[in-house]
Amino acid sequence: MDALNDLLLPPAKSTLAHQTDTLFWFVHLSGLVLTIGLIGVLIYFVIKYRRESEDEVTPLITHNNKLEVTWSVIPLIMVLIVFGWGYQVFMEQRVAPDDAYEVNVTGQKWIWQFTYENGARTNGELHVPAGRPVKLIMNSSDVIHSFYVPDYRIKQDVLPGRYTEVWFNAPEPGESIVFCTEYCGTSHSDMTAKVIVHEEGEFENWLADNAGGGGMPEDLAPAEWGEQLAQEWACSTCHSADGSDMTGPTWQGLFGHEVQLSDGSTVTADENYIRESILEPGAKVVDGYPNVMNTYQGQLNDEQINAIIEYIKTLK
């Protein structure tokens, strides 16, 4: 059974994943039995009753109430079992325990952002303690996204203007991938994240180290920090550092050069232009690129924006 599991299902890394898997196998194996049975009967009939002469006369069999009731009622009972079972597992998945550890999640094109109780913030990485229920309170700042962790068998749409919740309990330390599963445009398939499960004590340390969030680490120069931020905040999903053409214009050779805008005018890419483009992306759109970037107003602080500008300056 484990071998089958590995073939068809991702590793079960939450406390409830096994419940989903058991139901998964129950439905698939009963379906397989039915398929083999029905196709077997069909093939048998085709061979046994193949036409041997064009004049063959077939018996008149119009219906058979007993038979028809049987093959209506037995499948009905089967599907009712699957229904009840599925609903019961679902309800356990839905209702988070009262003592769950809460993390806020924001989805936006094309990045997952996580905010913790003490103000710590991460992008693209969700840090959680092992062996403790974690409840995610999620919303979106643009279109609908969906938060999916295959290893936990959980998925929940993330909506603009409304909160949705999902919870899980990962007993072992480790990492699992998060996918966005509601189509959200150009880089939908790059809107992934990682859940990083820490031992309880290790998690507390991590949390304390990142309290407040958003300060420059002491061991980094501003440009280095800027490079890190560009990764974390998914700038690099759309803006390359090596001149290759992605959803947005490349940052290589950007600073200090003329930029052709979509309204026909040109502008020199200085600090003010870059700052404006981060906070108000629609104000000056570069010619040939779609106006799809979100504002980072209220998300990146001045220190972080400065660091990103320093980083862009280094990309000659």
Give 114-120's long-range contacts (Cβ < 8 A, gap of 24+): 115/213, 116/207, 116/210, 117/207, 118/207, 118/208, 118/211, 118/212, 119/211, 119/212, 119/213, 120/207, 120/210, 120/211, 120/212, 120/213
220 binds another protein (CB under 8 A): no
Burial group, residue 209, by CB count within 10 angstroms (0-12, 13-18, 19+): exposed
31 binds another protein (CB under 8 A): yes
72 binds another protein (CB under 8 A): yes
Between 10 and 214, whose beta carbon lies closer to another protein?
10
* Candidate residues 106, 146, 169, 304; the one interacting with another protein per rule CB under 8 A: 146
Residue window 246-285: x/- pattern of binding to another protein, with contact defined by CB under 8 A: -x--------------------------------------
Q: Is the Cβ–Cβ distance between 171 and 131 less than 8 Å?
A: yes
12 binds another protein (CB under 8 A): no
66 binds another protein (CB under 8 A): no
Stretch that binds another protein, among 51-59, 227-235, 276-284, 305-313 (CB under 8 A): 51-59
Minimum distance of another protein from residue 87's CB (angstroms): 5
Please tell me the distance from the alpha carbon of residue 30 to that of residue 85, in angstroms, as a whole number: 14
Minimum distance of another protein from residue 224's CB (angstroms): 27
61 binds another protein (CB under 8 A): yes
Task: Lay out the sheet containing 145-149: strands in order across.
Answer: 125-129, 193-198, 174-180, 145-149, 154-158
* Candidate residues 96, 120, 180, 285; the one interacting with another protein per rule CB under 8 A: 180
DSSP 248: S
Torsion angle of the four alpha carbons 280, 285, 286, 292, in this order, in degrees rounded to the nearest 10: 80
Residue 40 corresponds to which tokens in the numbers above? Answer: 């077997």
Adjacent-strand bridge partners of 240: none
Minimum distance of another protein from residue 279's CB (angstroms): 18
20 binds another protein (CB under 8 A): yes
* Candidate residues 100, 130, 137, 159; the one interacting with another protein per rule CB under 8 A: 159
Stretch that binds another protein, among 173-181, 228-236, 260-268, 279-287 (CB under 8 A): 173-181
